[in-house]
Amino acid sequence: MKSEIICIGTELLMGQTLNTNVQFLSQKLAELGMDCYYQSVVGDNSQRLNDALSLALSRSELIITTGGLGPTFDDMTKNIMSEISGIPLVYHQDSLDKILKSYTDRNLPMTDNNKKQALVIEGAHVFKNETGSAPGFAFKCHHSLVVVLPGPPKEMQPMVNHEVVPYLEQFMDARLVSDYLYLFGIGESSVEASLSDEILYSSNPSVAPYASVDHVVLRVTSKAKTLEEAQALNKPMVALLSDQFTNHLYSINEPNMAQVLVDHLIERSITIATAESLTGGKISDLITSVDGSSKVFKFGACTYDSAFKESLLGVSHDEIAKNTPVTAKVATQMALGIQKYAQTDIGIGITGVAGPTTYRDDKPVGLVYIAVAIKDDVTVKEYHLSRNLKNERQSIKKLAALHALKDTLDRL
């Protein structure tokens, strides 16, 4: 099924909003095995919206739109759909009741523009909105299937996961399955260079490396009649690649390294505490973003002022005075200090220079020491994360935090 995605909203054309919807929807289409050939954005302008939809109807079998279903005057998606298809809009009673109730529940008067959100194309298949007001819907327009979704990701995403995907599955005669190998600490071109031509040019499964800020992903994709057959086709290639990249691979199909770490820790009842300097709480934030992390994460100290490295963690005053707080020894003492203070199995200590100002000539931006203490055994590593980029403070913090998670994972 040849598909395309149209995102509606002037805020996207103006760059005011980052378009995360198109990524989410592309992933879903890829998983369904639908080829997505076009992605486009159109503003809240009836003529251009009309043009964009007409063009899409001329070339795609499935068109997914997001946005323009809200209560305000510039939300016009449904009116244009009605114009183009010649099918009138009608109120979807359940949605209307829900909107009314949300106002009476809060003792608020409902403005008329909010009623508009309950309109759908007559005869459409309606997708209910678990987390907002405007329902989505699907209808046949000329020769295409058009799926109309709300713009806010928190409304659109659950709607797609719970209703749109099962609805679309009925139209598929082949299934595509992708497995993702998540690698850290290696670049995309090194990954590609070390792949044999046989792998690079294989077609079912196909293999493709992608780089993101946090990691390199190797995507392995197979197409088959059933989900099970496609999964089986993927298996030997995933095993082969896992073996080749074993030093860098941190997970198959789970992009979140903190999730991988917390799962390991919970499984083996290992507790952890962190002492952070340059990362400023980023490591504890990543860990505690994982559901269930409170079972294993006990305490995090962000000793931004070095005085607390000494008083709370027992880092040697002489070491800091003589050699600055950015040394392997300080990281080691931080790891041991926090492990002792919080009485946990693991202590992570991290110190470095986040920039943008160089701390001292011999302590350049991006110099980071990460120590991981497990029982009495401490390892410490030196990293040079600076890549001569501007405004790299946040990237260095994030990258340093991820290295800390990876170093910890490698010790388990």
The interface with its own copies within residues 241-270 (CB under 8 A) comprises: none
Instruction: Measure the CA angle with vertex 40, ends 37 and 44; round to 5°.
Output: 155
Report helix, strand or coil for 171.
coil
Q: How far is the CB of 378 from its own copies (least distance, A)?
A: 22
Q: Which of 143, 166, 193, 203 binds its own copies (CB under 8 A)?
A: 193
Select from 153, 114, 160, 158 the least CA-distant residue to 137.
160
**Which residues inside 368-387 make contact with its own copies, applying CB under 8 A?**
387
Give the angle subtended at the CA of 350 by the CAs of 346 and 356, to the nearest 5°: 160
Phi and psi torsions of 176, nearest 5°: -110, 135
279 binds its own copies (CB under 8 A): yes
Element (H, E) at 262: helix 257-267
Choices 60-68, 192-200, 235-243, 361-369; region in contact with its own copies by CB under 8 A: 192-200
| Distance in angstroms between the alpha carbons of the first and the last residue of the chain | 45
One-letter amino acid for residue 69 of the chain: L
Residue 405 to residue 264: CA distance in whole angstroms: 12
Q: Is 54 in the site for its own copies (CB under 8 A)?
A: no
Residue 134 as a binder of its own copies (CB under 8 A): the answer is no
Residue 196 interacting with its own copies (CB under 8 A): no
Site residues for its own copies, 281-300, by CB under 8 A, read 281-285, 287-289, 291, 293-294, 297-300
User: Can residue 397 be called a binding residue for its own copies (CB under 8 A)?
Assistant: yes
Cα distance between residue 146 and residue 3, in whole Å: 10
Pair 22, 4: CB distance under 8 Å: no
Q: Is residue 308 a contact point for its own copies (CB under 8 A)? A: yes
Per rule CB under 8 A, is residue 17 in the interface with its own copies?
A: yes
For its own copies, the closer of residues 29 and 124 by Cβ is 29
Interaction residues for its own copies, span 329-348 (CB under 8 A): 342
Indicate whether 357 belongs to the interface with its own copies (CB under 8 A).
yes
Q: With binding defined as CB under 8 A, does residue 107 bind its own copies?
A: no
Binding residue for its own copies (CB under 8 A) from 142, 154, 360, 384?
154
Q: Name the residue among 226, 217, 245, 271 with its Cα closest to residue 27.
A: 217
- Give the C-alpha separation, 319 to 340, whole Å: 19
- In the chain, the amino acid numbered 390 is K
Q: Which of 56, 81, 145, 217 binds its own copies (CB under 8 A)?
A: 217
Whole-number minimum distance, CB 154 to its own copies, in Å?
6
C-alpha–C-alpha distance, residues 132 and 66, integer Å = 14
**77 interacts with its own copies by CB under 8 A:** no
Q: For residue 128, state whether it binds its own copies (rule: CB under 8 A).
A: no
Q: Where are the alpha helices (DSSP H) in 213-313?
A: 227-244, 257-267, 282-288, 306-311
- Three-state secondary-structure class, residue 301: strand
Q: What is the largest CA-CA distance in the chain?
A: 80
d(CA 347, CA 274): 6
Q: Which of 100, 302, 328, 412 binds its own copies (CB under 8 A)?
A: 302
Q: How many residues bind its own copies (CB under 8 A)?
A: 87
Q: Which is nearer to its own copies, 53 or 124 (CB)?
A: 53
Q: Which is nearer to its own copies, 140 or 298 (CB)?
A: 298
Q: Nearest approach, Cβ of 146 to its own copies (angstroms)?
A: 19
- Interface pick for its own copies out of 143, 322, 375, 390 (rule CB under 8 A): 390
Classified as helix, coil or strand, 241 is helix
Residue whose CB is less far from its own copies, 121 or 325: 325
Query: Given the DSSP bridges, would you call strands 62-66 and 144-149 parallel, antiparallel or unpaired?
Result: parallel
- Report if residue 314 touches its own copies, rule: CB under 8 A: no
Q: Which stretch binds its own copies (CB under 8 A): 71-79, 225-233, 261-269, 373-381?
A: 71-79
Taking CB under 8 A as the criterion, the residue among 303, 327, 332, 333 binding its own copies is 303
Task: Measure the CA–CA gap between 177 and 233, rounded to whole angstroms.
Answer: 9
Q: Does 204 bind its own copies (CB under 8 A)?
A: no
Q: Which of 71, 185, 314, 364 binds its own copies (CB under 8 A)?
A: 71
Q: Does 14 bind its own copies (CB under 8 A)?
A: yes
The secondary structure element, H or E, covering residue 169 is helix 165-169
